[in-house]
Amino acid sequence: MGKPVLLSVDDDPGVSRAVARDLRRKYGGDYRVLRASSAAEGLEALRELKLRGDPVAVLLADYRMPEMNGIDFLEMAMDLFPRARRALLTAYADTDAAIQAINVVDVDAYLLKPWDPPEEKLYPVVDGMLKSWQETPDPAVDGVKLVGHRWSAPSFRARDLLARNAVPYTWFTVDEPEGQRILAAAGAGPEDIPVVVTADAKVLLHPSESELAAVAGLAVEPREMFYDLVVVGGGPAGLGAAVYGASEGLRTVLVEREATGGQAGQSSRIENYLGFPDGVSGSQLADRARRQAVRFGAELLLTRDVVALEAHGPKRVVRLDDGRVLAAHAIVLATGISYRSLGVDGVDDLTGRGVYYGSAMTEAVECTDRDIYVVGGANSAGQAAVYLSRFARSVCLLVRGDSLEASMSAYLIEQIAGIDNISVRTCCTVAGAQGDGHLETVTVQNANTGERETLPASHLFVFIGGAPRTGWLDGAVARDEHGFIPTGPALLSDGRRPPGWAPDRDPYFLETSLPGVFVAGDARSDSVKRVASAVGEGAMAVTLVHRYLGER
């Protein structure tokens, strides 16, 4: 945020220069002095300052200006900067109008032209306005500003993308005054949301994820076209592969479709990860791993989806959703899994508007004093329930099975049992979700009796099962009937190697049916669904990549 601004508006060039000169003489060290030659120019400057998040302390406007007089200008300026102090510059003949403006339009003062000497006629008035402004200054708003609707799915996705990629931003709704002022400064309306304003005042209307990532300073364009190693997926396994690949001298690029961290990055608290006896949030762990990978020289390419894998002789090539291709000596697939859709009436229409897949930590504060539901019986659901219980009036954990013991760690079960506002309903499923524009009720069905009950709900967080993100690999590598990727010994059938296998050896432990392409983490068949094992497989995959490269 820059220095507070003192803006003078006068169509007389001589007067305009004199005002700016006198203001700079006394206030230039602590304030930025700007001048405009017309009301329209002044309003344009104020819109730019609003978009940049710069504070405006004092406005001085000439009463008699063509097209718009000073009173009308100050009225419009109040819409953008209601806390700025306001004064009219008037000739002696206009003092009655100036006094009326003070009484009717909330102008703070008037200054007669000429004001010589300024020490007697200008500075005392400005000093008084500055003192008043300093008591109630404009709130500081740094970095990215995001304006959207509370129950808008695109607005939620924009907030979630920024938060998960650790991009600082300030959120405003279209219903609050400051959000309306930013929309006015951007020349946008509620139909344009989400509206994003960057730190350098660039405006984006309902941007795509890639557009938003680019202006937020995230890398979306590859620096090279050929690498030693391409890692697909930015969860713990992918970050582990990127850290070890780059640290061992491989030119490494990690391609991630959303944000680094994967499902683990959305976890509110991971308490069984080695080396963190007090626990660590998934976002913190992902941020540390991301910074570590970058420090070793890995390139991170975000909000880019990989849509195809091809073999071109010794090269392994991945094709991105924007048509670009990246070639490498070896590939590590760490695409992880995604939560399965509930697939019941009403859920799809309300996703992002009360129904969320994953913990959606940006929504935690909005759960304050509300009744919410978490669907799932594994650790991710339990961690979310514990975290959200700090905000919500009540949290109900809906579990398909007859107990939590089969799928949740004992430490989490003990925590949940000790939190008064968490309840657990077993043997039940969600049969529907209802609401006008946002979630209002959920229908819960007893899995044994089929009995249904409709309950009030403001939020529904879903953590059920997981489907591997491997559909784009169809025909490129072998997959099992569930879409997971078999590797190493699992590819051997009666001692025979996979069809088309060229090397004179068996596939390495994490190697797929395509030599030089490895899998780490949850997308691998029979993997252990834990953060520590995913990181370990990412490191192991790099060791096997080195072994593969040594054959060439």
- Whether 434 shows a pLDDT value over 60: the answer reads yes
- Distance between CA atoms of 255 and 247, rounded to whole angstroms? 17
In degrees and rounded to multiples of 5, residue 274 shows phi and psi of -55, 130
The lowest-confidence range among 77-86, 263-272, 386-395 is 263-272
- Give the right CATH number for 5-135 from 3.30.470.10, 3.40.50.2300, 3.40.630.40, 3.40.30.160: 3.40.50.2300
Residue 1: pLDDT over 60: no
Peptide bond into 190 cis (omega under 30): no
CB 336 within 8 A of CB 523: yes
Q: Mean of the pLDDT values across residues 112-125?
A: 86
CA-to-CA distance for 293 and 246, rounded, in angstroms?
A: 7
More confident residue, 529 or 360: 529
DSSP code at position 192: G
Domain ranges of the chain: 5-135, 144-215, 226-338+467-550, 347-462
Which amino acid, 137?
P
Mean pLDDT of the chain: 90
CATH architecture group of domain 144-215: 3-Layer(aba) Sandwich (3.40)
Characterise 344 by phi-psi region: left (phi > 0), alpha (psi -120 to 50), beta (else).
Answer: beta
Tell whether the model's pLDDT for residue 135 goes beyond 90. Answer: no
CATH architecture under which domain 347-462 falls: 3-Layer(bba) Sandwich (3.50)
pLDDT by residue (tens digit) across 506-522?
Answer: 999 999 999 999 999 99
78-101 pLDDT, tens digit each: 888 888 998 888 876 567 766 766
The whole model's pTM is what? Answer: 0.79
Judged against a pLDDT cut of 60, whether residue 263 lies above it is answered with yes
Rounded-to-integer distance, Cα 171 and Cα 165, Å: 16
Predicted local confidence at residue 262, as pLDDT:
83
pLDDT at 266: 77
Q: What's the whole-number mean pLDDT along residues 295-302?
A: 95
pLDDT at residue number 142: 67
Report the alpha-carbon distance of residue 5 to residue 132 in Å, rounded.
15
Domain covering 226-338+467-550 in this structure, CATH number = 3.50.50.60
313-345 residue pLDDT tens: 999 999 999 899 999 999 999 999 888 888 899
Residue 276 binned pLDDT confidence (cut-offs 50, 70, 90)? confident
144-215 and 226-338+467-550: identical CATH topology: no
